Amino acid sequence: MFIRNESFSQYIRMYPVISALIALNVLIFLLGFLPVIGDRIILFGIGYNAAIADGEYWRFITPVFLHAGFMHLLFNMFSLFLFGPELERLTGKVRFLTIYLIAGIFGSFATFFLHPPAYTHVGASGAIFGIFGAFGALLYYGGRALPQLRQILLPILVISVIMTFLTPNVNATAHIAGLLAGFLLGLSYFHPKRIVSWKKKSGNRNIRRIK
């Protein structure tokens, strides 16, 4: 499920939304090194609770596309590259983008309401956790029928939540809020009545794209 065997061109063709998101994040990160443009991107894009309280509401979404450093960017984009394709395949392009963006925005909303005005944050982690949450909804509906899927996804979900609270300088609020948002959206998208069919592939059962 999470092993990528596609070539570069195949990956882009099969998963255009993920490819576009990765490209956009990398582009914004590279623009951040430019003397004037980079400073403005950070200044006007960072999640800053005090600025949001003053009416700069675009900061609910812009932090999702900013990262604090190369390793921060690499970790989030690798997670998107690895875990995103199966979800984009199952839900379709529009629903996948909806999960990603709403989870990221919900993480920013939670951060705004639960942290002090001086709190600042950047990163796509809330959106990434939205992907995990959507998979959690899939487990909720089909975990017993798909034991192999459960064995793969459940440890990933548990470890991700644990690492959220063990890793320093992490916006745990955005992680958990994104996870919850993705789960709630997944409950709608993966509802049993919306599942079209099942098939066997390489000895494993996979869900075809839902309506």
Given the residues 67, 175, 191, 202, select the one marked as catalytic. Answer: 175
d(CA 100, CA 79): 13
Q: What is residue 15's predicted lDDT score, i.e. its pLDDT?
A: 95
Q: What is residue 147's predicted lDDT score, i.e. its pLDDT?
A: 67
Q: What is residue 109's predicted lDDT score, i.e. its pLDDT?
A: 97
**Residue 125 annotated among the catalytic residues of the structure:** yes
Q: Can you name the CATH fold of 8-207?
A: Rhomboid-like fold (1.20.1540)
d(CA 41, CA 29): 9
Within the chain, where are the H helices?
A: 8-14, 16-31, 35-45, 49-53, 70-91, 93-114, 125-142, 147-166, 172-189
Given the residues 108, 125, 160, 197, select the one marked as catalytic. Answer: 125
Tokens of 137: 């909804």
d(CA 211, CA 201): 20
Report pTM: 0.88
Q: Do 26 and 77 meet the contact criterion of CB atoms below 8 Å apart?
A: yes
Q: What is residue 141's predicted lDDT score, i.e. its pLDDT?
A: 79
Residues of the chain with pLDDT under 70: 1, 143-147, 192-211
The pLDDT tens digits of the residues spanning 51-104 come to: 999 999 999 999 999 999 999 999 999 999 999 998 999 889 999 999 999 999
Q: What is residue 143's predicted lDDT score, i.e. its pLDDT?
A: 62
Q: What is the dihedral of CA 42, 177, 80, 61, to 10 degrees?
A: -30
Q: Any idea where the domains of the chain sit in the sequence?
A: 8-207
Q: What is residue 70's predicted lDDT score, i.e. its pLDDT?
A: 95
Q: In the block, which residue shows the tokens 């796509």?
A: 124
